[in-house]
Amino acid sequence: MNKDKVLITGSAGLIGGEAVDFFCKKGYDVIGLDNDMRSSFFGDDASTKWNRNRLEKKHKNFNNHNVDIRDKRLVHKLFKMYGDDIKLIIHAAAQPSHDWAANAPFTDFEVNALGTLNMLEHYRQYSPDAVFIFTSTNKVYGDTPNKLRLLEQDKRWEISPKHKFRNGIDESMSIDNSKHSLFGASKLAADVLVQEYGKYFNLKTAVFRGGCLTGPTHSGTELHGFLAYLIKCIKLGIKYNIYGYKGKQVRDNIHSYDLVNAFYHVFLKPRIGEVYNIGGSRHSSISMLEAIEKIEKLTGKKAVTEYVDKARDGDHIWYISDVSKFKKHYPDWEYKYDIDMILKEMCK
């Protein structure tokens, strides 16, 4: 058994749990930090306890700690305990909903921004040779993507074929002069902190600005987890509300395995303070209407939907990630899943 340790926050969530599976299978001792705040955010249906229990039974080399990332005393205790044995930190814990953040801005900022600062400073003091990977969000660009010139098609919005972002939005998009939502602002604060700890202190940090992250272990809820919640509604006959844009809004979806595998490539060849847009890109993009149609076919059940003629504040009309920068830096990384494979697995 490899004595090197991987520290994962949000270790029972979608990305954290996938990372636990991934690195435990590779023989690392995995230290998890997860206190199931998702159930506090979104209710019992969104609890991740089931996934934590699954992972603890499956992997003897996984040790989860019921620790809040905002708790300086407990985070300090863990870093002091493991120190230089920690070779990789995957920081996936977060408050992930821009709707929820508007009703609890202090909690949102404390978890997303101050919690990240707490992790970074203890990383710098006790495990500075490790690699620090942060799961950011495309919401750091605010609603700037909505200023793109879009074309309305039968079931989706599309960008002009001649636009420079035709293949997806890259890291050159501005983060300024847009409506981010309070969630987007708190994640942007954390995003910049992770970059700065890399560039200012010469630490091996990486930021992944994700599109829609998804997979079969997602505890989907109305406020967070588009595909997981949609599938749940269709299978159980629950009414699904479509908010604005005629249901033609487009997202690229990346499977949690493909994202964690990208983390692994960074871990093997780390850089200093890098930022990457990451998502399913064009080959794994889908609109709301297209997703409903595909899930209906896969489940044999008709969706119960209601259209609300008002989009969520700051919600994107069209967002596809350009992953070419990451592919240039890590050419051996490849997708395992496309949108059809993702939907089949999740419905199953």
Domains, the chain, ranges and CATH? Answer: 5-347 (3.40.50.720)
Task: Read off the pLDDT band of 1 (50, 70, 90).
Answer: very low
157 Cβ contact partners less than 8 Å away, ≥ 6 residues apart:
150, 151, 245, 248, 249, 250, 287, 317, 318
Structural tokens at position 7: 């520290």
Residue 220 predicted with pLDDT over 70: no
Residue 219 predicted with pLDDT over 70: no
Lowest mean pLDDT among 38-47, 111-120, 144-153, 252-261: 38-47
Task: Read off the pLDDT band of 225 (50, 70, 90).
Answer: low
162 Cβ contact partners less than 8 Å away, ≥ 6 residues apart:
none
Q: How many other CB atoms sit within 10 Å of the CB of residue 337?
A: 21
Contact 78, 31 (CB under 8 A): yes
| Burial class, 276, CB count within 10 angstroms (exposed 0-12 / middle 13-18 / buried 19+) | buried
| Residue entry with tokens 């209710």 | 43
| Burial class, 335, CB count within 10 angstroms (exposed 0-12 / middle 13-18 / buried 19+) | middle
d(CA 158, CA 16): 32
Contact 304, 295 (CB under 8 A): no
Please report which residue ranges of the chain form alpha helices under DSSP H. Answer: 14-25, 37-42, 49-58, 72-82, 98-103, 105-109, 115-126, 181-201, 226-236, 256-268, 288-299, 324-329, 339-347
Whether the full predicted model's pTM is greater than 0.85, yes or no, is yes
Give residue-wise pLDDT tens across range 261-317: 999 999 999 999 999 999 999 999 999 999 999 999 999 999 999 999 998 877 899
Mean pLDDT of 130-138: 98
Measured in degrees and rounded to the nearest 5, phi and psi for residue 255 equal -70, 145
